Structure 1
Amino acid sequence: MSEGKHLPLVIIGGGGHASVLVDMLRQQQRRILAVISPDLIDRGEVFGEIKQLTSDEDIHQFGCDDIRLVNGLGMLPGQNLRRKVGEKFRELGYRFETVISSKAIVSPFATLAEGVQVMPGTVVQAGSQIGQHSIINSGVIVEHDSQIGDWNHIAPGVTLCGHVSTGDDVFIGAGATVTQMVCIGSGAIVGAGTTLTEELAAHHICYPAKNTQQEIKPKVTL
C-alpha cells in the first residue's frame, strides 16, 4: 500500500467502476472528500453525500500532500482514457492510492505498485508483482511469481497460472485463462473466455473460438 494510505481520498470518475471502489473504501471506513465527474452521478446510496466536483481543475483546491487520488475510470480494450487521465494528475504532482478490497487475498510476499486496484474475491499469490495502476478485477487468480505490467486490466474471473508475464496496457477479458510461463506483449488483448497457451505478441489480439491471433491495427484519425 502507499505510504499515504491514511490520507483522505478524492475519486476521479463517477461511473460503475468508481461506484465499486467507493463501496470498497466505505467498508474500510476511508474518508472520501469528493468525486470529480462532469456527468451526473446516479448510483443510489453508494456515493451518498460525497461532494461532487465537475471539472478536473477543481483538484487544485486540494494540496498534493494532503490527499491521495483514486482512479475510478474503468478500462475497455484498446481504450487509453484511464491512462491519459491518470498521467495528467501525476504530472500535477498528485499521487494515487493503492486500493485492496478487504475481501481479497493478497500474499504479503506479493508486490503491488502505486495505484493498483484489487477487487473483491481476488487472490494474488506469493512472488507476484503488479505494475502501476493495473486493475485486478473481481474473482481474479494471479498465481505465484507472475509479473503484471503497468496499466493492465485483468477482467473478472481471469486465471493467470504461475510465472505469467504481461507488458504494459494489456487487457485480458472476463473468464480467460493464461497457462503457466506464457508471456503477453504490451498493448495486447486476450478475448473473454480465451485459454491462452502460447506467447501473444505486443499489439495483437487473441480470440477465444479458435485461439487465433491477429494484429491490432491503429485507428486512423482524419
Structure 2
Amino acid sequence: MLTSHALSNDSAFSHHTPPIVLIGGGGHASVVAEILLQQGREIVAVVTPDSIAERPVFQGIKHLSSDTQVAKFKPSDVKLVNGVGMLPRSTIRQKINGYFLALGYQFDTVIAPSAVVSPYATLKQGTQVLAGAIVQSGASIGAHSIINSKALIEHDCVLGEYNHIAPGATMCGQVKTKCNVFVGAGAIVTPNIAIGENAIVGAGSCITRSIDAGVITRPAATTLDMVEAKEGRRG
C-alpha cells in the first residue's frame, strides 16, 4: 500500500499541476530538479545569482539571477520549490520562503519516486522527501522540512517546521521535534524522544534521552557528549 501511494503521487504530477520555479542552483537544487523532471514536471526557471552551466540537469531551463525576477510569474500560475540546502541553524531557507510567501506564492511538496510515504502520514507545505527515504504511518512532517536520502521516519513521529533529517538518519517511533532541528547523517533517535528548537544531533549520534532547545550532540568513543549552545559550557 505504501509503494502504491508513492507511485500514485508520482503519476499525478504529470497532469493538472502548475509549472515549477526552482529557487537555488547548487547541489541540493540539482537533486530536487532531477526528481521533478523524472515526474514530468515542468521547471520554467531556476533562480540563482550563480552560473548553472556546469550542472547538466539544468540544461535548457531559463536562468533568473535574482529573486525579484520571479515576479514575472503570477503566484496563481506557478508553484515554487526551495532548492537551497539546509545547514545547521542556517535561516536562509526561512528567509527565502518568508519573502515569497508574503508575495502570495506557495511552495510545492516534492516526493522522490523511490521514496515510500504512507497514505496515513502528513506532509505539510514545501516538504521534500528524497530518494529511498521512508515516512511511516501516523508521522507528521512540518512545513519546509527535508527528509534526505534513505532517512527513516517511523510511525507517529511529529517533526516541526524546517527540520533537516540528513541521509541515513533514523527517527524511531513517536519522536517529536520542534522547529529548525538538524539531525546529522546516520544518527539514530530512539523512541519517544523530544528534541527542542534549534537543536543539532551530530552525525552518527545515538540519542537515548530528550534534548533541550539549542543543544548540540556529538558521538564519542564510549559516550554521547552533550555540548550546550552557550559557548564554553559542556554537560
Q: Fold conserved (TM > 0.5)?
A: yes
SS in 1 for 2:98: helix
Runs of 4+ in 1 over 4 A off after TM superposition: none
Equivalent residues, number: 217
In 2, Cα distance between equivalents of 1:110 and 1:100: 13
Query: Given residue 128 of structure 2, which amino acid in structure 1 is its aligned partner?
Result: Q
In 1, Cα distance between equivalents of 2:62 and 2:224: 46
In 2, Cα distance between equivalents of 1:56 and 1:168: 25
Structure 1: gaps (5+ residues): none
Contact persistence 2:187–2:205 (CA under 8 A): yes
Aligned twin of 2:91: 80
Judging by fraction of residues, say which structure has more helix: 2
In 2, Cα distance between equivalents of 1:154 and 1:44: 25
Shift of 1:212: 1.6
Could you tell me which of 125, 134, 144 is aligned with 2:155?
144
Aligned twin of 1:47: 58
Contact persistence 2:53–2:59 (CA under 8 A): no
Shift of 1:43: 4.0
SS in 2 for 1:30: coil
Deviates more, 1:37-46 or 1:136-145: 37-46
In 2, Cα distance between equivalents of 1:130 and 1:81: 20
User: In 2 relative to 1, CA 43–143 (structure 1 residues): closer, same or farther, beyond 3 Å?
Assistant: farther
Aligned twin of 2:182: 171
Aligned-pair identity in percent equals: 50
In 1, Cα distance between equivalents of 2:154 and 2:16: 26
Shift of 1:175: 0.4
Aligned twin of 1:99: 110
Query: Given residue 81 of structure 1, which amino acid in structure 2 is its aligned partner?
Result: I
Shift of 1:55: 0.8
TM-score, normalisation: structure 2: 0.89
Aligned twin of 1:35: 46
Aligned twin of 1:66: 77
In 1, Cα distance between equivalents of 2:101 and 2:227: 34
In 2, Cα distance between equivalents of 1:138 and 1:5: 27
Shift of 1:114: 0.2
Query: Given residue 181 of structure 2, which amino acid in structure 1 is its aligned partner?
Result: V
TM-score, normalisation: structure 1: 0.94
Contact persistence 1:19–1:43 (CA under 8 A): no
Contact persistence 2:156–2:173 (CA under 8 A): yes
Shift of 1:5: 7.4
Deviates more, 1:86-95 or 1:125-134: 86-95
Aligned twin of 2:132: 121
In 1, Cα distance between equivalents of 2:46 and 2:58: 8
How well do the aligned residues superpose, as a CA RMSD in angstroms? Answer: 1.6
Could you tell me which of 191, 211, 215 is aligned with 2:228?
215
Shift of 1:213: 1.2
Contact persistence 1:99–1:117 (CA under 8 A): yes
In 2, Cα distance between equivalents of 1:155 and 1:88: 25
Cα deviation code 1:55-100 (max 9, x no counterpart): 1100110001110000000011121111111111111110000000
Could you tell me which of 209, 215, 222 is aligned with 1:204?
215
